[in-house]
Chain A
Amino acid sequence: CGTPVPSSGGLIAGYAHQKPPRVLVASRNFANDATFEIKKCDLHRLEEGPPVTTVLTREDGLRYYRMMQTVRRMELKADQLYKQKIIRGFCHLCDGQEACCVGLEAGINPTDHLITAYRAHGFTFTRGLSVREILAELTGRRGGCAKGKGGSMHMYAKNFYGGNGIVGAQVPLGAGIALACKYNGKDEVCLTLYGDGAANQGQIFEAYNMAALWKLPCIFICENNRYGMGTSVERAAASTDYYKRGDFIPGLRVDGMDILCVREATRFAAAHCRSGKGPILMELQTYRYHGHSMSDPGVSYRTREEIQEVRSKSDPIMLLKDRMVNSNLASVEELKEIDVEVRKEIEDAAQFATADPEPPLEELGYHIYSSDPPFEVRGANQWIKFKSIS
């Protein structure tokens, strides 16, 4: 079945302890791996791009499927909890974009770095946090990954720098992380993500220049889901070829709904950076089913037919499932079992996130500065004081 393929690096450590799905029908023999054709990427300033075929092992396939399904169900659960007012504030969901977070993670190592904007729940999961910690952070409880103080847009994990609210502000940060990678000399890269709306922010171009000038190992990734809040790309950008917007930075345009395409492109981009050639830009063409945030129904600037069409023709989970079933890498029943297990995991996490207590009010003022000794912070009026400990 082709040359041995290294198991895709860097799937979350926390996942290692999950028991592999039971094989229902003992006598059924699955293929160990299968070769698939993937779409050729459009290239900018590159002689050649990622390969157009890739090998997917059964083990990797099942893992990707489980991860994507987990992200999908987690986002849908967050939608439910929001509507029940258990999650408040802002909530930007990424269902439809699962191939991006899972595919990117499949192409890098856990020791690489990643920073993104506010549509970050999927990345928080793929970078190693549990669904429990994520949902509890959304509901603002102490069991949350940021102790309930960060919320939807401010989740962090090892080598994952958030979760950032201000559009475009995370890109120069990503270039800085890449500088640290180069400086430390450990062959690490930084994935710096932003959206199609953010692509028109000035600071992105400043980051491009610095990264190219100093040959930083930075992979700029534009997650183009066609709409910046309610504005379609044609109405916001003079050039919608986001992979070319880096000008002097080589770029590639990737089918962001096909996880294998994303994985191969990421491997290619990471190899480019690790070889010292400097930054590279990837545009992932993807789609979000939900609106911009939970306050946006998502249908006043696009038609339901469009959303339906993407769901039926390009859904990332469906595409992977069809490939695996048709190549005898897994059975429909097996994948359904995974669905059931994922549902249970999400249910348990949601229970936890709903029942866990909120952080105590005393902690409201903590961690403003790094300071020793503690100092007092004024609350909403002069007589309310919070102690700030850090």
Chain B
Amino acid sequence: MAAFAATAGGLLRLRAAGSEGQWRRLRGAGLLRGLLQPESATGVAAQRRHVAHFTFQPDPEPREYGQTQKMNLFQAITSALDNSLAKDPTAVIFGEDVAFGGVFRCTVGLRDKYGKDRVFNTPLCEQGIVGFGIGIAVTGATAIAEIQFADYIFPAFDQIVNEAAKYRYRSGDLFNCGSLTIRAPWGCVGHGALYHSQSPEAFFAHCPGIKVVVPRSPFQAKGLLLSCIEDKNPCIFFEPKILYRAAVEQVPVEPYNVPLSQAEVIQEGSDVTLVAWGTQVHVIREVAAMAQEKLGVSCEVIDLRTILPWDVDTVCKV
């Protein structure tokens, strides 16, 4: 037992980044060619290898929330969870391997700090995890469930769509599972192949009753996660796994909220609107800069942040 709890270091490499735990950012020459020479792109593409490319662009240090600390994405998540468990005595965190800190280190230290009845492992059963979480939430306690990879959320799809999303509606507001938040690592990472790379937000995007959120950075993640946990509706929070270590920013230590269902205009522009979420926001920022420089096109870059219900007004506003 002791051996297992001792080094998170051993297990942290489980399923995380490739063999050395390093994130590779590779040159996006293929992307550039594709942008500027669409006709020849196919011919060129056939010979080139196309790999994930982005440069994480940190936001300026926030001043209005008090003292900040340099954190990467998983540390920002840990901070949000820490704040939640401190503020809300009914809050519990559960999922596969969360007790020792999680396969991406998002829950490191929380079990020691808050006790094993508040941070605990479940067996390997996604449908069970979410169903169980709905049950906890229905009694009024705050349930923070982790699905180990978004790719594994599908056994729980029925519980989310048929149970969690419709609970309040079907009971005429007598019951609800609003204090449920489901977190899952999301998105491509380069070597994840079929089952460690998926971005399933679209499957949930048309299900009234739940909220779906994807942050682009540590600062956004902490604020959005805290908002999800406090929101009185069941929320799914997808965390871009490729950003867990690659994204580093100054993040406030105290709790703060980033509003749900509000898109953020990161850069104003007049010719074209580019909408993105998660990791892709950073790709799009680069595209906007390239478009301005090479084509003289002024792009407006919007981070959607909440996929459902999404901020139609900000996107459509002239």
Contact = CB atoms under 8 A, between A and B. Distances in A.
B125 A200 contact: yes
Given A292-B14, A296-B10, A301 B19 contact: no
A302 B34 contact: no
B318 interface: no
Interface string A370-384: 000000000111111
Interface in B88-124: 96-97, 100, 121, 123-124
Interface string B179-218: 0000000000001111110000000000000000000000
A229 interface: yes
Contact of A231 (B7, B121, B127, B196): B121
Interface string A196-210: 011011110000000
B18 A202 contact: no
B128 A384 contact: no
B42 A385 contact: yes
Nearest to B127: A202
Interface stretch (A26-34, A40-48, A85-93): A85-93
A347 to B, nearest CB: 23
Contacts of B50: 379-380, 384
B11 A237 contact: no
A82 interface: yes
B25 interface: no
Given A201-B124, A202-B127, A231 B19 contact: no
A300 B121 contact: no
Contact of B34 (A153, A236, A293, A383): A383
B286 to A, nearest CB: 13
Given A165-B195, A300-B4, A383-B41, A295 B13 contact: yes
Contacts of B48: 361
B14 A293 contact: yes
Q: Is the interface of B mostly helix, strand, loop or mixed?
A: helix
A389 interface: no
A22 interface: no
B13 A296 contact: yes
B11 A301 contact: yes
Contact of A198 (B4, B7, B45, B124): B124
From B6, B47, B123, B151, residue with most partner A Cβ within 10 Å: B123
Interface in A349-367: 361-362
From A82, A202, A292, A381, residue with most partner B Cβ within 10 Å: A381
A62 B15 CA distance: 38
B193 A300 contact: no
Contact of B191 (A89, A153, A165, A385): A89
Interface residues of B, number: 45
Contact of A235 (B31, B121, B127): B121
Given A299-B10, A379-B45, A85 B125 contact: no
B16 interface: yes
B38 interface: yes
Nearest to B13: A295
Contacts of B96: 231
A49 interface: no
Contact of B3 (A237, A302, A385): A302
B152 interface: yes
A162 interface: no
A166 interface: yes
B23 to A, nearest CB: 14
A370 to B, nearest CB: 19
Contacts of A294: 19
Interface in A173-221: 197-198, 200-203
A230 B193 contact: no
Interface residues of A, number: 48
B62 interface: no
Given A202-B125, A229-B14, A302-B3, A89 B193 contact: yes
B124 A197 contact: yes
A297 interface: yes
B46 interface: yes
B96 to A, nearest CB: 8
Nearest to B287: A381
Contacts of A231: 96-97, 121, 123-124
B155 interface: yes
A39 interface: no
A26 B38 CA distance: 73
A295 B15 contact: yes
Interface in B25-55: 30-31, 34-35, 38, 41-42, 45-50
A229 B125 contact: no
A228 interface: yes
A295 B9 CA distance: 11
A302 B194 CA distance: 29
A158 interface: no
A202 B3 contact: no
Contacts of B7: 300
A148 interface: no
Nearest to B9: A300
A300 B46 contact: no
Contacts of A300: 3-4, 6-11
A217 to B, nearest CB: 27
Contact of B14 (A83, A295, A299, A379): A295
From A229, A301, A384, residue with most partner B Cβ within 10 Å: A384
A144 interface: no
A288 to B, nearest CB: 14
Contact of A236 (B10, B13, B124): B124
A303 interface: yes
B82 to A, nearest CB: 23
A193 B88 CA distance: 43
A299 B6 CA distance: 11
Nearest to B50: A380
Contacts of B19: 82-83, 85, 88, 294-295
A25 to B, nearest CB: 46
B18 A88 contact: yes
Contacts of B8: 300
7 contacts: A88-B191, A90-B15, A202-B155, A230-B97, A295-B15, A296-B13, A382-B34
Given A201-B155, A300-B11, A384-B45, 13 more contacts: A154-B194, A166-B152, A167-B124, A235-B121, A236-B123, A295-B16, A296-B13, A297-B10, A301-B4, A379-B45, A382-B34, A383-B34, A383-B42
